[in-house]
Amino acid sequence: MSYDFVKVDHEAGVEVIALNRPDVRNSLNRQLRQELREALEQAMDNDTVRVIVLAGEGKGFCSGADLAEKIEDTGEQDFLANAVREEYNGIIKAIVNGPKPVICAVNGTAAGFAGALVLACDLVVMAEDAFIYSAFSAIGLVPDGGFHFLLRNAVGPQKAYEIIACCQRLDANKCIELGLVNRVVATENLREEALSFANQLSKLAPLSLRHSKQLLKEAATGELLAIADREAGFQEVNLRSKDHQEGVRAFFEKRPAVFQGC
């Protein structure tokens, strides 16, 4: 399917979904928000896709909401809140609830809602000159898209509050120090490194990747023994899978396993 503001490329089990409004640093107007959510949902439902790479065309990953796009006040109570829930949170939901790993390739600016977009992804590769910037409190607003939850889980409540309240600009070195990203790479190699990472994951057992993603999500709010019980249940499912049988055979035959996701 073709889009106006999202570029989609698919090869060998990896789908690259790129925000494609480079002239405005991929700022999110309504159409881009809708197209991004749709592209993510379709990739999650596509059996030929094993790993998704989320990227931004041009010099910046995403500068957040398109402030040039006027918000029409309908006069209805919670009209803005409902728009955020539907259009912005829907994107986060597609990433977090989707069964497949999403690797975010961050170049340049990841500002505003883009900070939540980055942190919602399962893995993050960041260019050495990229940064995350949430300046909501400077204009009397609060970060959205689940940014408080995601940042708190990553760095703890005190550090998260400092970052949010003081509008701290988190460069690549700070992000790797705080554990917000997996890898920092040379800017010119960002897309290549992200694709290499994705290709590596695409050869791993899809059931294992899917179930570990689900368990980590539940572990954010669950209790230890409850998560251990859920792990036991998934272990039973995986043990009976063809992929487990293939993995054992490959181990003893000293060859790479060829997983099918079943």
171 and 240 both lie in a single domain: no
Which among 202, 220, 235 is the end of a domain? 202
Tokens coding 119: 């942190």
User: Would 260 be classed as within a structural domain?
Assistant: no
**pLDDT tens-place string over residues 46-101:** 999 999 999 999 999 999 988 888 776 666 777 778 888 989 999 999 999 999 99
What phi and psi values does residue 176 have, to the nearest 5 degrees?
A: -70, -35
Please state the pTM of the whole predicted model: 0.95
The answer to whether 131 and 176 are in contact (CB under 8 A) is no
User: Would 116 be classed as within a structural domain?
Assistant: yes
- Cα separation of 89 and 149, whole Å? 13
Residue 65 has what DSSP assignment?
Answer: B
Q: How many CB atoms lie within 10 A of CB 138?
A: 9
User: Would 34 be classed as within a structural domain?
Assistant: yes
User: Would 51 be classed as within a structural domain?
Assistant: yes
Q: Quick one: which H or E segment has residue 16?
A: strand 14-19
111 and 29 both lie in a single domain: yes
17 and 125 both lie in a single domain: yes
Task: Give me the DSSP letters along 28-58.
Answer: B-HHHHHHHHHHHHHHHH-TT--EEEEEEST
125 and 237 both lie in a single domain: no
DSSP-derived 3-state class of residue 121: coil
pLDDT at residue number 27:
96
From first to last of the 262 residues of the chain, give the pLDDT tens digit.
789 999 999 999 999 999 999 999 999 999 999 999 999 999 999 999 999 999 999 999 999 988 888 776 666 777 778 888 989 999 999 999 999 999 999 999 999 999 999 999 999 999 999 999 999 999 999 999 999 999 999 999 999 999 999 999 999 999 999 999 999 999 999 999 999 999 999 999 999 999 999 999 999 999 999 999 999 999 999 999 999 999 999 999 999 999 999 9
CA proximity to 185, closest of 116, 115, 107: 107
Q: Give just the sign of the alpha carbon dihedral 105, 106, 111, 116.
A: positive
Structural domains counted in the chain: 2
User: Would 258 be classed as within a structural domain?
Assistant: no
Domain CATH code at residue 235: 1.10.12
84 and 210 both lie in a single domain: no
- Cα separation of 10 and 53, whole Å? 10
95 and 179 both lie in a single domain: yes
Tell me how far the alpha carbon of residue 254 is from its chain's centroid: 34
User: Would 32 be classed as within a structural domain?
Assistant: yes
- Residues making up the chain, counted from first to last: 262
65 and 101 both lie in a single domain: yes
CA proximity to 150, closest of 221, 202, 77, 203: 221
193 and 222 both lie in a single domain: no
Domain CATH code at residue 181: 3.90.226.10
Domain enclosing residue 16, as ranges: 6-202
